[in-house]
């Protein structure tokens, strides 16, 4: 990060007096201080000092059309002018649900929420009610939010995680209930033999299996088609609810997300991020009999003052039709493939063992030999090479995540000029990573 960001420094000095670390998500904390931003447009941000930055984070993948997309902004402005915000229903909620279900094949009904954490929590309540069972199984390296039973083995230290074929549940941080953490069954991602053994042994206890079909919070690690088919086969055989967390994969890999891409339909799925081009929203969708159980008096509660927030729904109504025909996804896939090819050639030229993984506009660099198939391989990414690489990109005025296990994103606004700038920045950053 450039050292002359005096306004950001001054804002940080104020912020840390009233806010821990001066930020409202720990992922935004930086040393010596965070960078504070004033506005955004297209693929760019302008910081508090007026410096333009090419955004390679894009709201953790939420901003799929580009910052300030005119159709979304106009829809939001119309909603704001009506004065509605929260706590009531309005017709645009129906329009948003209809637009959602047109995009996502295999889902019968949908209900909106605010965050992925909320949506996955609702999904677990539905699964427990439907099965009469208690326990949850999740895959290692899959992130589903920060509740006690979900923030488990998302980013574990491999030295604490035990046998790769039967991972030990590791809390995501202090403060989680250790009894809840210990009760979670952790599955080895992309290991069909190990996963089959664990599920067969514990099937009678399990209400749900939940996973990201692509581990995007660990960078970009796709499931093998056989792995997802195995999960579908075993959960159906044993009456376990299969839940796909499509908060990140939804609307980017295909209009219907990873379920459409892989041809494997879960019982329930959660969505968010790209659905409203950066406005706060999430959704739970799934089979009718499961979703109907959340109706009043029939099963689990489904409540929330800000559910179906008018402004977020207005953004979704404008965004979803632009994601429906698959053309945006095809274009993002093409641009991501270009960056992957360029990165591979530049890494070979620089003599740096590294790979860029990605699709649908999501991408991440790993400083390891060969492809990455699971979380533990990703965790071997060389942190020092990554530090030098990301420092070089920051010096070129690009917003990136510094963590070696993170994820980055393009939007439709990242055109030819932006892709060329990224490729040129990769060249220099890989040269510095080699040192």
Let me know if 103 is exposed, middle or buried by CB neighbors in 10 A (0-12, 13-18, 19+).
buried
Tell whether 55 and 106 lie within a shared domain: no
Tell whether 285 and 212 lie within a shared domain: yes
Residue where a domain stops, chosen among 308, 323, 338: 323
Tell whether 284 and 197 lie within a shared domain: yes
CA neighbours closer than 13 Å in the CB half-sphere of residue 263? 4
Tell whether 375 and 345 lie within a shared domain: yes
Q: Domain of 351?
A: 36-68+326-434
Catalytic residue among 55, 151, 273, 375: 273
Q: Give the CATH number, domain containing residue 381.
A: 3.90.1150.10
Angle between helices 383-395 and 416-434 (to 10 degrees): 140
Tell whether 343 and 217 lie within a shared domain: no
Tell whether 314 and 332 lie within a shared domain: no
pTM given for the model: 0.96
Whether 4 is in a domain gets the answer: no
Predicted pLDDT of residue 4 = 58
Report the SS3 class of residue 293: coil
Q: Give the CATH number, domain containing residue 262.
A: 3.40.640.10
* 31 given a catalytic annotation: no
> In this structure, is the dihedral angle defined by the CA atoms of residues 155, 159, 165 and 171, taken in order, positive or negative?
negative
Taking 70 as the pLDDT cut, the residues of the chain under it are 1-4
Contact 34, 12 (CB under 8 A): yes
Q: Residue 207: left (phi > 0), alpha (psi -120 to 50), or beta?
A: alpha
* 245 given a catalytic annotation: yes
Q: How far is CA 231 from the centre of its chain?
A: 21
Tell whether 374 and 236 lie within a shared domain: no
* 273 given a catalytic annotation: yes
Tell whether 102 and 63 lie within a shared domain: no
Angle between helices 192-202 and 225-238 (to 10 degrees): 10
For 42-59, give the DSSP string.
BTEEEETTS-EEEESSTT
- The model's pLDDT over 341-360, given as tens digits with 9 standing for 90+, comes to 999 999 999 999 999 999 99
Tell whether 135 and 206 lie within a shared domain: yes
Catalytic residue among 44, 55, 138, 143: 143
Catalytic residue among 55, 217, 245, 374: 245
Predicted pLDDT of residue 198 = 98
Number of domains present in the structure of the chain: 2
Q: How far is CA 337 from CA 89, 334, 342, 414, in A?
A: 42, 5, 9, 14
Tell whether 212 and 237 lie within a shared domain: yes
Predicted pLDDT of residue 113 = 98
What tokens appear for 255 in the block? 């209009």
Tell whether 142 and 291 lie within a shared domain: yes
Whether 18 is in a domain gets the answer: no
Report the SS3 class of residue 169: coil
């Amino acid at each position: 990060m450039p050292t002359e960001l005096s306004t950001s420094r001054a804002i940080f000095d104020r912020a840390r007096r009233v806010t821990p670390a001066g930020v409202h998500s720990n992922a935004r904390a930086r040393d010596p201080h965070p960078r504070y931003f004033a506005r955004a447009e297209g693929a760019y941000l302008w910081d508090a000092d007026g410096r333009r930055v090419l955004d390679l984070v894009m709201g953790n993948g939420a901003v799929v059309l580009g910052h300030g997309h005119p159709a979304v902004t106009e829809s939001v402005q119309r909603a704001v002018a009506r004065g509605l915000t929260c706590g009531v229903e309005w017709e645009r909620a129906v329009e948003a649900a209809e637009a959602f279900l047109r995009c996502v094949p295999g889902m019968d009904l949908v209900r909106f929420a605010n965050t992925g954490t909320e949506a996955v929590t609702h999904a677990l309540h539905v699964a427990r009610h439907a099965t009469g069972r208690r326990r949850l199984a999740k895959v290692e390296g899959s992130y589903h939010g920060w509740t006690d039973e979900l923030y488990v083995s998302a980013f574990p230290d491999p030295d604490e995680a035990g046998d790769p074929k039967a991972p030990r549940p590791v809390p995501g941080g202090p403060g989680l209930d250790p009894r809840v953490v210990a009760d979670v069954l952790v599955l080895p991602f992309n290991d069909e033999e190990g996963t089959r053994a664990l599920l067969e042994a514990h099937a009678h206890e399990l209400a749900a299996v939940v996973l990201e079909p692509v581990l995007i919070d660990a960078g970009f690690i796709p499931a093998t088609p056989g792995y997802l088919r195995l999960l579908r086969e075993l959960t159906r055989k044993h009456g376990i609810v299969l839940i796909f967390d499509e908060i990140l994969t939804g609307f980017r890999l295909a209009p219907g997300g990873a379920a459409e891409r892989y041809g494997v339909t879960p019982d329930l799925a959660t969505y968010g991020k790209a659905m409203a081009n950066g406005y706060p929203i999430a959704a739970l969708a799934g089979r009718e009999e499961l979703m109907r159980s959340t109706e009043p008096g029939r099963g689990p509660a489904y409540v929330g003052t800000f559910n179906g927030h008018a402004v977020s729904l207005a953004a979704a109504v404008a965004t979803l039709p632009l994601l429906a025909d698959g053309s945006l996804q095809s274009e993002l896939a093409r641009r991501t493939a270009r960056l992957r090819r360029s990165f591979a050639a530049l890494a070979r030229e620089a003599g740096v063992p590294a790979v860029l993984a990605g699709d649908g506009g999501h991408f991440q660099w790993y400083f390891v030999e060969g492809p990455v198939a699971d979380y533990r391989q990703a965790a071997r990414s060389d942190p020092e090479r990554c530090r030098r690489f990301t420092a070089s990109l920051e010096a070129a005025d690009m917003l990136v995540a510094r963590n070696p296990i993170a994820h980055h994103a393009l939007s439709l606004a990242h055109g030819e000029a932006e892709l060329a700038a990224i490729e040129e920045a990769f060249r220099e950053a890989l040269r510095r990573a080699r040192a």
